Amino acid sequence: MKHIFQQGTDQNKPTFMLLHGTGGTENDLLPVAGMIDDSASVLGVRGNITENGMPRFFKRLAEGVFDEEDLMKQTEELYGFIDTASAEHSFDRKNVVAVGYSNGANIAANLLFHYEEPVKGAVLFHPMVPRRGIQLPDLTGLPVFIGAGKNDPICRPEETEELAKMLEAAGAEVTLHWEDGGHQLTREEVEQAAAWYQRSVL
Ligand code: MLT
């Protein structure tokens, strides 16, 4: 997958796998990673799909309606890519924290829905429920931060709560942070994610 890797100054810190929103690139979340921990390594990934010229991580049939077959295919590819990238760039495969926004948060959530310990932790900014009606793997103790907007028209609050409950039922340690706003990613929620990272991941 198209990506950038930047080696952090502290080798013991996690590698942040950055997953952009629709229309983003592998560089979008670099400032966010820097705000969470500026000494960690970063692997910025670009989604394989383009929708009217906008990069995405998987196809959708309409706004908020996912192409499940493609979602599964792309999730498998991303999972395999973490292995390949860790060998190529010599980072610890077991010390990867996913940081995703919107479409990127949705594929990160789907990784959690299908693999046991696909990552060490996950920051999901404005995620949706990627799939329903499936049995989640055992996620006991896996730290997950969810940033959500009370007025987010794309990721509605009920869906955010549903996702948090599904992850918790699988054993994940979910921290849910609410903003008053909509779908945009705010400085405040990144600061909350940074505090969560200090408490729950390091
Ligand atoms: C998705 O397709 O993942 C969601 O609709 C969010 C987005 O628009 O990127």
**Which ligand 1 atom is nearest residue 107's CA?**
3
Q: Please tell me if the CB atom of residue 62 comes closer than 6 angstroms to any atom of ligand 1.
A: no
- Residue 22 C-alpha to ligand 1 middle, in angstroms? 6
Q: Please tell me if the CB atom of residue 180 comes closer than 6 angstroms to any atom of ligand 1.
A: no
Kindly state the average pLDDT of the residues 144-152: 98
**Which ligand 1 atom is nearest residue 21's CA?**
9
Which residue reads 């292995």 in tokens?
83
pLDDT-derived band at 58 (thresholds 50, 70, 90) equals very high
DSSP 18: E
Q: Please tell me if the CB atom of residue 46 comes closer than 6 angstroms to any atom of ligand 1.
A: no
From CA 21, how far away is CA 36, in angstroms rounded? 18
Name the residue at shortest CA distance from atom 7 of ligand 1: 103
Q: Is 20 a catalytic residue?
A: no
Domain count, the chain: 1
- Taking only the tens place, the pLDDT of each residue in 80-111 is 999 999 999 999 999 999 999 999 999 999 99
Q: What CATH number did the domain enclosing 126 receive? A: 3.40.50.1820
Q: Please tell me if the CB atom of residue 175 comes closer than 6 angstroms to any atom of ligand 1.
A: no
Catalytic, out of 70, 177, 183, 200: 183
Which of 73, 15, 11, 17 lies closest to 48 in space, CA to CA? 73
- 3: pLDDT strictly greater than 90: yes
Buried b (16+ CB within 10 A) or exposed e, 154-178: bbbeebbeebbebbeebebbbbbbe
Structural domain of 23? 3-200
pLDDT of residue 14: 98
Q: Please tell me if the CB atom of residue 65 comes closer than 6 angstroms to any atom of ligand 1.
A: no
% of the chain surpassing 70 pLDDT: 100
Note whether 104 and 47 are within 8 A (CB).
Answer: yes
pLDDT of residue 64: 87
User: Whole-model pTM?
Assistant: 0.97
- 168: pLDDT strictly greater than 90: yes
Q: Please tell me if the CB atom of residue 63 comes closer than 6 angstroms to any atom of ligand 1.
A: yes
Q: Is 183 a catalytic residue?
A: yes
Kindly state the average pLDDT of the residues 43-56: 97
Name the residue at shortest CA distance from atom 6 of ligand 1: 103
